[in-house]
Structure 1
Amino acid sequence: MLRNTCSRNLAIVIRGCLTQMGDIPLAMKDWDQVEQNPFFCADADKLEALDELMRGLKKEGDSIGAKVTVVADGVPAGWGEPVFDRLDADIAHALMSINAVKGVEIGDGFDVVQLRGSQNRDEITKAGFQSNHAGGILGGISSGQQIVANIALKPTSSITVPGHTINRDGERS
């Protein structure tokens, strides 16, 4: 609903795709591919590997985690507030409300811990920003760049692989 409202009234395009399943990284090569396959993947070259992984997991009765990337194009600069109504906080809150989501990154997210400030800053020139490490949100306010968020989805524990648990008396069952 939000995607339809934004695209119709504000010229904002929101889209997402699978960008990692287990240890298989997936490039965002072709958005037209996303709705053409059961994995909602933009990297058609990896579809066979994804299918093979899923078949193996099904045979084993197990599951695996995944990463989904969501981007928003056309968001005007100036949305959000620097402290209490930060746009990145609002996005993270909404994404964390989705079942199975265990992590949210805005922009480069956790990858920035190994960078220096001089490497991570999104410098601006007359031609525009030179990078988008912050994922289109600077100081809690949209910068006018593409907004980028990643979510980590946990592997479901509702699987057929036997696990350990206890009964009401605390005894192993």
Structure 2
Amino acid sequence: MANSYGNLFRITTFGESHGLAVGVVIDGCPAGIEIDLNFIQKELDRRRPGQSAIVTQRKESDQIQILSGVFEGKSTGSPIAMLVWNENAKSKDYTHLAEAFRPSHADFTYQMKYGIRDYRGGGRSSARETLARVAAGAVAKLFLKRLGIEIQAYTSQIGELILQKSYQELDLSQVENNEVRCPDNEMAQKMIAYIKEIRKQGDTIGGVITCVCKNVPVGLGEPVFDKLHAELGKAMLSINAVKGFEYGSGFEGVKMKGSEHNDLFYKENDKIRTKTNFSGGIQGGISNGEDIYFRVAFKPVATIMQNQESINLQGENIEITGKGRHDPCVVPRAVPIVEAMAAIVLIDFYLIHKALNNKYLQ
């Protein structure tokens, strides 16, 4: 089972939803980075369960502990190990699923691949694993902050409720001002009301997160197999419940002519810019200095509080009903996860570029 991600900045996550703890080991973090524990905790607080009425009511404080790799508030260059103890797991909510395969979950594939699975909350396949990614992403953000790189994600769609404004038209400082993490308050209230209604029906709904990376220098990414957008896509598609990724103009770009879609160059002071940014800040697999922006689609949460037909380990037809505490919509809590994975990709490519190229990053 592969549990590591990255090249020079490499993370390994561990732990299960209903195990003792969940954590991460970061290998390759440069020495001398100020490790702000309060910042890391705030990032985890954005992801933790029980934070509002539209997410799972599992009560976890998700208090982070740093076990190694930090001395006097700075990274030492050795592996950084971080851990969060599970506090509110209710494994009895899952005993009826010990031999049942829940629709659209990883139960069946895990059982067939490994011959064994932790049915308590999905075990390793649970989205609780993503807290480890957020912790590692927070460390990556602290490094990127030194370079002036900013990463901001937000909810841009819930079901058929679509925020039509582009990110340039929005005040992204407003993202944390409502529980759905949409920077447009009018649309946010509609989204919140819709999620609450879906929850009353015992159902779930999906959505889209838009992410913007600003001040990324020219030169990150490789031109053939390790394209920057390809790695961002891989990182996003590794997040639980993600079903789609598009960057720049994405699928909408197919409606345009080349003469409309081409990003024309011009010079602004001493910097080469593009008049438009349908490329999404990446050309030829390499960052071009413009904003990198992409969208990530999340499916409806698979656990619903309704009766569903399924099958058990013996191949018998059964009927199951979801129990326990689950998100009616995963999107609001996934915003910091998307940011974290973007940060991990960018710091990794930055370190790779510095290792392979003597040319100064513009």
Q: TM-score when scaled to structure 1?
A: 0.92
Identity of aligned residues (%): 37
1:33 to partner: Cα distance: 1.3
Offset at residue 143 of structure 1 (A):
0.7
Please list the CA deviations of residues 7-55 of structure 1 after superposition, one character each: whole Å capped at 9, or x if unmatched: 1x21100110001111111244221211111111111111221121012
Gapped regions of structure 2 (runs ≥ 5): 1-137, 320-362
Match of 1:13 in 2: 150
Give the letter for the 1:105 counterpart.
E
Counterpart check, 1:136 vs 2:296:
no
Q: CA RMSD in A?
A: 1.5
Give the CA deviation at 1:98.
Answer: 1.1
Secondary structure of 2:307's counterpart equals: coil
1:17-166 alignment, distance < 5 Å: 17-26=154-163, 27=165, 28=167, 29-127=170-268, 128-166=273-311
CA distance in 2, matches of 1:50, 1:61: 17
Q: Following the alignment from structure 2 to structure 1, what is the Cα–Cα distance between the partners of residues 177 and 288?
A: 32
**Aligned AA (2:301):** T
Alpha-carbon distance, 1:161 to partner: 2.3
CA distance in 2, matches of 1:4, 1:45: 32
Structure 1 spans left out of the alignment, 5+ residues: none
Runs of 4+ in 1 over 4 A off after TM superposition: none
Paired with 1:132 and 1:164, the residues of 2 have a C-alpha distance of 47
Aligned-partner Cα distance in 2 for 1:170–1:120:
54
Answer yes or no: is 1:4 the counterpart of 2:145: no
Matched residue pairs, number? 172
Determine which structure has more spread, i.e. the larger CA radius of gyration.
2
Secondary structure of 1:163's match? strand
Q: Please give the alpha-carbon distance, in whole angstroms, between the structure 2 residues aligned to 1:123 and 1:164.
A: 55
SS at match of 1:158: coil
- Between the aligned partners of 1:21 and 1:51, the Cα distance in structure 2 is 9
Q: TM-score, normalised by structure 2?
A: 0.46
Distance 1:170 1:111, change over 3 A: farther
**Would you say the 8 A contact 2:309–2:317 is kept in 1?**
no
| SS in structure 2 of the partner of residue 93 of structure 1 | helix
**Contact 2:280–2:291 (CA<8 Å) still a contact in 1?**
yes
Distance 1:35 1:169 in 2: 46
